[in-house]
Amino acid sequence: MPKWIVLLLAGILLLSGCKDSNVQKETAVQEETAAPSVTAVSQSTPEPSESPNPVPTVPDSFRKYYDFVDGEHLGNLIFHAKEDLDGDGTDEIILAFGWISEEDPLDSWVSDLVFLRETDGQLTKLGDNWAAQAYGIYKVELIRLQGSNKKYLWCGLTNGGWLKGVQIIEFQNSEPRELFYIASATGSGEETLTDDNQDGYYDGLISDRSSYDVLYYETQRYYRWTGKEFVYVSTHTDVGEYPGSVKETILQYLALRVLNIEYSPEIDARLAELCTDTEADQAETAPDVWTSSLLESILEIGDTIDFQIKEAADAANAIVTLKSVESDEHIVFTFDLLHSDGKWVIDRLEQLE
């Protein structure tokens, strides 16, 4: 082979080796300087980082209050206020610590809610941690109520799922106390403060429920602020269209009876349509048996209600057995129904067992 060809091949190999070396060095540098990958982890309540966190920004006017409780809380300072909440001429200090979620407010978490009072330069902690309760607090803010010169602390509650509730705290005689609390123990829903005349002072509250705790009927409970307390006024219930069959008529009658919602004109009117037997109210409701069996029937997950129906063109008879989900207890009814104006109506109801 001619010598010049050998030299040419050697040069090509040398250049190729340098290029591979540069690529490897560049890749190594990229791997060393690349940002670490981040994996999102879903959790019900935030946990403090094990690594040291930077001290959160605290206003100078609140630094001494922050320092007073430092080490006794989790998270960052996410709410602070200094107001005379009971009208005695001395300000109370409110500090809330925790984490705020920018994506979903309900994922925020108030870990510690602290009240302080300053007298002659001395700080005193008022009560325990108000955030330590069954339902978590996701937000706090000061509000005004109609007819009152005071400010109140509104706490938004959540069960970490589909339920929102409300707790309102007032100061009285230099002490915090719970003025109002509402949060369903089951199901889902939310509470909304109302300001009917849009003057910045709340005068009522609406409690929405539509889950299994109300047998999936959409309900809105209305509360009115009297100037001293929230009082229940009425409930709006969406009872839907009139049932179209003997079985559906009986099921709705049983469901509305067991809900036993006071001051609901829609339920009262529908029950009057469904049943004309003036003595039907004497039938035992037995909420545990009725509710559990009706709920499983609605969800179609069990065989807890047995129907034996004999139906003619304008009359029907049904023997209905409601079985307890948790025991051998059961209730047996007999229904006589008449068909009039395109509707089945319960004419007579008798409890057999």
Q: How confident is the model over 142-189, as pLDDT tens digits?
A: 999 999 999 999 999 998 777 889 999 999 988 999 999 998 877 788
Q: Same domain, yes or no, for 229 and 251?
A: no
Q: Same domain, yes or no, for 221 and 276?
A: no
Q: Same domain, yes or no, for 100 and 220?
A: yes
Q: Which domain holds residue 121?
A: 60-238
Q: Same domain, yes or no, for 135 and 156?
A: yes
Average pLDDT over the chain reads 82
Residue carrying structure tokens 């009297």:
226
Q: Same domain, yes or no, for 252 and 195?
A: no
Asked whether residue 285 is domain-assigned, the answer is yes
Q: Same domain, yes or no, for 95 and 198?
A: yes
Say whether pLDDT at 213 is over 90. Answer: no
Name which of 28-42, 111-125, 224-238 the model is least confident about. 28-42
Q: Same domain, yes or no, for 229 and 109?
A: yes
Say whether pLDDT at 52 is over 60. Answer: no
pLDDT band (50, 70, 90) for residue 321: very high
- Which pLDDT does position 312 carry in this prediction? 94
Q: Same domain, yes or no, for 232 and 260?
A: no
- Which pLDDT does position 47 carry in this prediction? 42
Q: Same domain, yes or no, for 287 and 271?
A: yes
Structural domain count of the chain: 2
State the angle between helix axes of 246-259 and 265-274 in degrees (0 to 180), rounded to the nearest 10: 140
- Which pLDDT does position 258 carry in this prediction? 85
Q: Which of 216, 238, 260 lies at the terminal end of a domain, its last residue?
A: 238
Asked whether residue 180 is domain-assigned, the answer is yes
Asked whether residue 324 is domain-assigned, the answer is yes
Asked whether residue 22 is domain-assigned, the answer is no
Asked whether residue 138 is domain-assigned, the answer is yes
Asked whether residue 34 is domain-assigned, the answer is no
- Which pLDDT does position 12 carry in this prediction? 37
**CATH number, domain at 344?**
3.10.450
Q: Same domain, yes or no, for 128 and 233?
A: yes
Q: Same domain, yes or no, for 203 and 103?
A: yes
Q: Which of 192, 217, 238 lies at the terminal end of a domain, its last residue?
A: 238
> Which residues are within 8 A (CB) of 101 and not within 5 positions of it... i.e. 6 or more apart?
107, 108
pLDDT band (50, 70, 90) for residue 57: confident
- Which pLDDT does position 179 carry in this prediction? 97
Q: Which of 238, 273, 296 lies at the terminal end of a domain, its last residue?
A: 238
pLDDT band (50, 70, 90) for residue 286: low
